[in-house]
Amino acid sequence: MPNQQPGLDLVFRALGDPTRLAIVGRLARGPAPVSELAAPLRMSLPSAMQHIAILEQAGLVTSRKVGRVRTCSIDLAAMSEAERWIGERRREWEGRLDRLGEYLKTIDGGERDGADD
């Protein structure tokens, strides 16, 4: 049963770290080179790079090296996939609640028994 969208857990795992969350937050405002991303992080460059690598593996970020500068950008596809998955679960749950409400209205004048699921 541990199977939903393949790789989706990678996306969430990549976002599951304050440093990486901050990097994505920064990149949403526009592309940036590695060193600019690393600057506000209290952390060595190699460590920052590791975080960026994880974001890339998850498909959240892409990067291209021009001279000796590697410029990173957000990749919307993975973001949207994650957003959609959550939204689908949410709607599933809300729909369930709605149907429950309808059912309760159906037996309105009848019993007064608490029913769930």
Partner DNA sequence: GTGTTAGTTAGGCAAATGCCTAACCAACAG
Partner DNA sequence: CTGTTGGTTAGGCATTTGCCTAACTAACAC
Q: How is residue 4 written in tokens? A: 């939903």
With CB cut-offs between 5 and 8 Å by kind, which of a copy of itself, DNA, none does residue 82 bind? a copy of itself
Please, which residue, 30 or 109, has the CB nearer to a copy of itself?
30
51 binds DNA (CB under 7 A): yes
E strands, 4-101, where? 32-33, 61-65, 70-74
117 binds DNA (CB under 7 A): no
Decide: 52 and 58 in contact? Cβ < 8 Å: no
Least CB distance to DNA at residue 27 (A): 13
87 binds a copy of itself (CB under 8 A): yes
65 binds a copy of itself (CB under 8 A): no
Report the SS3 class of residue 37.
helix
CA–CA dist 45, 108 (Å, integer): 64
Decide: 79 and 60 in contact? Cβ < 8 Å: yes
93 binds a copy of itself (CB under 8 A): yes
Decide: 90 and 83 in contact? Cβ < 8 Å: no
Judged by CB under 7 A, which stretch of 27-35, 78-86, 88-96, 101-109 contacts DNA?
27-35
Please, which residue, 40 or 101, has the CB nearer to a copy of itself?
40
